[in-house]
Chain A
């Protein structure tokens, strides 16, 4: 008894300081979510769902993020495989450049997309002749999402491929594995958990994308108004609608985090495919 009482006073300054600082930041991060969930009460929030903006936005968000995530995976996997294996200086430069969309403001990304693919943009004339007018269309939504979300997948995938045990790859090649076989049958299975994690982060980023979408695709209900844009619009009409839509987004994000944690906890792959 007397021992624990004596210990209580030890390092009081240190423990108090750490507690206050940690609690301060923790509260700032957690309280807004609590408010989102509880403010107004369940009845008011439920009524908020019943709005003409809700279902078109939800449908659009799910469809466009699915497409953009697929595009990111299809294009990002070969690109990161090359980046991981290349010794060229230009590859290192490219790696840095490909991370730019992460550090610039999304609105800047939107403007850049407009200048590249908009009607009066760099490739605008060419695209128009081919029959494409991407700006302010659903295609623009997918493009904006892909632009901001791709770096997340690229970074995870490049890291995963770089970390592959070179001895395993050497053994596979010595056994006679051609480059396609090496990629499909050895590298991909080994990198799969990290690739899935990267794809999940990419999808999350695409789901939350706002600035670039607003600039490049506009805010047209049913056509380019994704969930984040709908929340922005709903704020002018009805706070509870904005709250309901926000809860929807948070719900998706939370489910995603849970899935990610499950994936990272699986110690072994029980794959039986091979040969």
Chain B
């Protein structure tokens, strides 16, 4: 039984010539973050992660404050328990699939014995149907397989929330559908807040319940996906939803 986890954030972050302002509350759901290139979506993800430090704002996960500029609180990235899945999957190229997952297990708060780590890693890989790839290096895997290893690794770190950056952009069309199904099942099972940056309406309709729209550093709208399709809040969303193939 999972307690209700909420990702609540208000961030103000000035980078180069534009300021990023976003206020968002994410429950146990997946929110898709869309917007034109340069709108600040990836910067927002990095600020939530703690890689960039905003000037002002507040970020909390469940009851834990991760960032509060007013109180000068800023927890380091490694303590935020936010899983990050970058566009190119972020697998360590020098570690096999099993060792990639074991890395996450080794970094957990409560140390796990070395012998048990490998066993656990295999169990996670099994959950995603790729236990047979345990000994392979990332370079020897297809895009879809890599995404599943990355997902297994992220889940193994027992995150409180998950941040995805264009999860299907680096995949070919056939792999995309399969990964979307895997992601949908996993996110549903994990029941944690998920924020997903995407340019692809296929991702949005398959995975997200709500749509957050960013433009020039500002979060301008946040609506339910069904609502966004019927009554697009901005022209950009209208184009995105209207395109049957991959969006810009």
Contact = CB atoms under 8 A, between A and B. Distances in A.
Interface of A: 166-168, 170-179, 181, 185-186, 189-190, 268-275
Given A170-B49, A170-B51, A171-B84, A271 B108 contact: no
B90 A274 contact: no
B109 interface: yes
Contacts of A274: 92, 94-96, 99-100, 102-103
A207 to B, nearest CB: 30
B19 to A, nearest CB: 20
A166 B46 CA distance: 11
Contact of B103 (A167, A175, A179, A269): A175
Contacts of B86: 167, 170-171
A186 B91 CA distance: 11
Contacts of A174: 49, 77-78, 80, 82-84, 157, 163
B114 interface: yes
B139 A268 contact: yes
Contacts of A178: 78, 107
B146 interface: no
B129 interface: no
A177 B107 contact: yes
Contacts of A176: 78-79, 81, 104, 107-109, 157
B107 A181 contact: yes
A175 B153 contact: yes
B161 to A, nearest CB: 10
Nearest to B95: A274
Which of A175, A186, A272, A275 counts the most B-chain CB atoms under 10 A from its CB?
A175
Nearest to A171: B90
Contact of B104 (A166, A175, A270): A175
